[in-house]
Amino acid sequence: MIAVIQRVLESHVEVDGKIVGKIGKGVNILLGVSKEDTEEDVIKLVNKVVNLRIFEDQNQKMNLSLLDIKGEALVISQFTLLANLKKGRRPSFEFSAEPDYAKRLYNLFVSEISKCIPTQTGIFGADMKVYIVNDGPVTFILNSKSI
């Protein structure tokens, strides 16, 4: 499971011109599910995300987590994070989970992170427009297989 974590002042996602998810200060999470991912990957990734100390304290040091600041999360499904770009010019998605499996793990991720912090989402599989006011910018890439 791959997640691109962006620290944001605010973020929202639109589908067909309508806002379907909107947050204030927190993180925008682009989440890709691979064929090899399991529920264990979901739990590891959620725990890592909510406890990452990526928000500034009173001394402008990255020392506070989402839990500390009572931040929010906007979780967007993005299968293209699993693209194989090694051969040729067209991405291959051979490592991406099948849609039904990916949706199940995506929904589990949303459910688990929602237990910790206020969470909004896009619509799985939809054509979405994501608007981000990146704070910093501060962006991290996490792979559940290496945490």
80 is catalytic: yes
Name the burial class of residue 118, with classes exposed (0-12), middle (13-18) and buried (19+) by CB atoms within 10 angstroms of its CB: middle
Active-site option among 6, 78, 119, 120: 78
140 in catalytic set: no
Active-site residue, 60 included: no
Q: 146 in the Ramachandran plot: left (φ > 0), alpha (ψ -120 to 50) or beta?
A: alpha
Selected catalytic residue, list 6, 55, 58, 80: 80
Residues 6+ apart with CB under 8 A from 19: 12, 13
Phi-psi label, residue 31: left if phi above 0, alpha if psi -120 to 50, beta otherwise: beta
Single out the catalytic residue among 79, 109, 119, 120: 79
Catalytic residue positions, numbered:
78-80
